[in-house]
Chain A
Amino acid sequence: MITSIWAWLRDPAHWSGADGIPTRLAEHLGYTAIVMVLAAAIALPLGLYVGHSGRARWLITAANAARAVPTLGLLFALSLWLGPKLSGDLAFSAPSIIVLVLLAIPPLLAGAYAGVEAVDPAARDAAKGMGMQPAQVLRSVELPVALPLLLSGVRAALLQVIATATIAAYVGLGGLGRYLIDGLATGDYAATAGGALLVAGLALAADLLLAALTRAVVSPGLTGKYRGADGVDIPGRTDVAFER
């Protein structure tokens, strides 16, 4: 089995052409990118707003509850409903993208909300009390402090989208899902397993990339990983204990 997967992966015929791995990989990444951009554009501002204002917390609960909706079922329902109303490629791609966006929103929303929510109220109060405008408080205090949780939401969403984008193949689109669906249909299990391996590898690579990004953009003051710090506490002055 392993040798046949290996053989499938190494077959030069699988690495070129419209049905080749590079093309499918590019398609897969394309869907993922479109979905992540759309989902982030909706969920991040909303999450930041809810965390900043404390209003409309029900949105977070609702989004989490919506995770229970089965993705595949939703995809078929949307395809049947939207398909006839749209023309060309859009008839196939729109339902897939909508489903994946809906899938990505809850972790993004929860991450952004939890991040801002976790900002120390004293820091927020100090920021305002020192004369920052509301937008400055959000930009220079709440957002940077929220980054670790916000980015962990992005990581969770990205992994889910990469893994689930395979279902686009069900409604006739490309992406790495093609190998899984077509392999299953034709009994080419080496192609199915090879496709699955490629998806897993892609997910892993994307996660490592985001981990590196997180390290680069999150302040050491939040992660506790101080550059060149010796960890030795410098005591305050104690020579005034007698003075009153």
Chain B
Amino acid sequence: MIRFDAVTKTYPGGTTAVDGLTLEAPTGQITVLVGPSGCGKTTSLRMVNRMIEPTSGTISIDGRDTASMDPATLRRGIGYVIQHGGLFPHHTIERNIATVPLLLGTDKSTAYARARELLERVGLPQSLAKRYPAQLSGGQQQRVGVARALAADPPVMLMDEPFSAVDPVVRTQLQAEFLRLQRDLGKTILFVTHDIDEAITLGDQVAVLRVGGHLAQMASPSELLAHPADDFVADFVGRDRGYRALSFVDGVLPALAEPTVAVGDSAELARERAIDGWVLVTDDERPLGWYAVGSPGDQVTAERLALGGTLARQGGTLRAALDSALSAPSGRGVVVTDEGKLAGTLTAAAVIEVIEQQRTGRDRAPAVQDDPSAEPRIQHSPGGESP
């Protein structure tokens, strides 16, 4: 646990970057500091590993006051990831990742072996080990930055806008992989971002800071969206917070079975199975895309598929389910199992129905679920009716 106790940072000249900040970042969770520029979020983060010294107040990690520790020793025990990666351009990727273990006296072959292991862990091939940072894309460099921070297996990680310098598609990937990694590792993470969407996606709890370094609200993402503490937080969280709040609601989704064809099947078969002019194409039960009846050619081919629909994971959130329905050309969102296999499809109307039921508080499952004569459908992991 990282604990800030009445921490203030005032610069010579009188600017107050952080003003009496008190908060706790619980062990094994992601705590996100978010706010507009000038709110002191990066300053707060950098005070934890004493890159900046607080003017007053104490910061402790697992009960130990950081001011009592040697700065270099303290920093070697904390993973540190920064915005532009900060990789050493003259070192190979594996040497970069091995930095802290080598500082700690680990022998070279052990440190390099661990570096290669970590490359795979962050989703990069081991063949990159001997390359130099300039040979990697921005997204790959950020992954190496994360691997480097993990190298000495520190219990605590500080991440300063680690994904903000990459394009949105790569950022979404990195965020998803980061969450997956965190599920395995359970690090105590303090994460700084200016992007409220990122804060809500990643945070177990989110601390919203306002300019001048005051804590405006500290809450779970769903709490933040549902009950912003004041106008500043409400404004910062944004207008479509109602839609975003669906990210934290899972429900029992009435997904229906969907007939499918495979690549190579005849256009005739596709026409027979299509519903409303669209048929889902799968390969070994994995959804590939939608095929429109009446497409040129007498066979279903991979080139003619309409792509771009998002997939909703079984037991996932209402937001993902709604998004999948809205983005599908057929109007039927594709739901997949955790293994990526087709579970069924559902329409936006069906998702809205679930939302409505939850809003009105009536604990009524969709009628079709109780009707044994209805079409076979996939029952999703209950996951918990939302509170």
Tell me which of B168-176, B203-211, B271-279 binds A.
Answer: B168-176
Residue-by-residue, is A114-130 near B (CB-CB < 8 Å gives 1, otherwise 0)?
A: 00000010111111111
Contact indicator B88/A145 (Cβ below 8 Å): yes
Residue-by-residue, is B293-331 near A (CB-CB < 8 Å gives 1, otherwise 0)?
A: 000000000000000001101001100100000000000
Q: Which of B51, B73, B172, B180 contacts A128 (CB under 8 A)?
A: B51
Contact indicator B123/A236 (Cβ below 8 Å): yes
A226 beta carbon closer than 8 Å to chain B: yes
Most buried by A among B80, B135, B176, B177: B135
Q: How far is the CA of A238 from the CA of B136 in the complex (A)?
A: 15
Instruction: Return chain B residues, CB-CB under 8 Å to A241.
Output: 169, 172-173
B218 beta carbon closer than 8 Å to chain A: no
Q: Which of B75, B124, B133, B134 contacts A129 (CB under 8 A)?
A: B75
B143 beta carbon closer than 8 Å to chain A: yes
- Interface size class of chain A, counting residues whose CB lies under 8 Å from the partner chain: 35 or more
Instruction: Return chain A residues, CB-CB under 8 Å to B80.
Output: 126, 129-130
Most buried by B among A133, A220, A233, A243: A243
Contact indicator B127/A236 (Cβ below 8 Å): no
Contact indicator B133/A130 (Cβ below 8 Å): no
Contact indicator B92/A221 (Cβ below 8 Å): yes
Nearest Cβ in chain B — how far from A24, in angstroms? 41
Known A-B contacts A123-B88, A123-B89; the reply to A221 vs B132 at CB < 8 A is: yes
Question: How many residues on B have C-beta within 8 angstroms of the other chain's C-beta atoms?
Answer: 56
Known A-B contacts A123-B87, A125-B86, A222-B90; the reply to A131 vs B310 at CB < 8 A is: no
Q: How far is the CA of A126 from the CA of B80 in the complex (A)?
A: 7
Nearest Cβ in chain A — how far from B310, in angstroms? 6
Q: How far is the CA of A218 from the CA of B139 in the complex (A)?
A: 26
Contact indicator B90/A122 (Cβ below 8 Å): no
Q: How far is the CA of A220 from the CA of B95 in the complex (A)?
A: 14
> Among residues 126 to 145 in chain B, which have CB atoms less than 8 Å away from a CB atom of chain A?
127-128, 131-137, 139-140, 143, 145
Contact indicator B124/A236 (Cβ below 8 Å): yes
> Among residues 101 to 141 in chain A, which have CB atoms less than 8 Å away from a CB atom of chain B?
120, 122-133, 136, 141
Q: How far is the CA of A145 from the CA of B45 in the complex (A)?
A: 27
List 18 interface pairs A-B (beta carbons < 8 Å), by A numbering: A120-B86, A122-B83, A129-B51, A130-B80, A130-B103, A131-B76, A218-B90, A219-B132, A221-B132, A221-B134, A224-B134, A229-B135, A233-B135, A233-B136, A234-B128, A241-B169, A241-B173, A244-B320
The 6 lowest CB-CB distance pairs between A and B, nearest first, are A126-B86, A221-B132, A131-B76, A219-B90, A131-B75, A122-B86
Tell me the A residues contacting B by CB distance below 8 Å: 120, 122-133, 136, 141, 144-145, 218-222, 224, 226, 229, 231, 233-238, 240-244
Tell me the B residues contacting A by CB distance below 8 Å: 49, 51, 71-77, 80, 82-92, 99-100, 103, 123-125, 127-128, 131-137, 139-140, 143, 145, 148, 158, 169-170, 172-173, 176-177, 180, 201, 310-311, 313, 316-317, 320
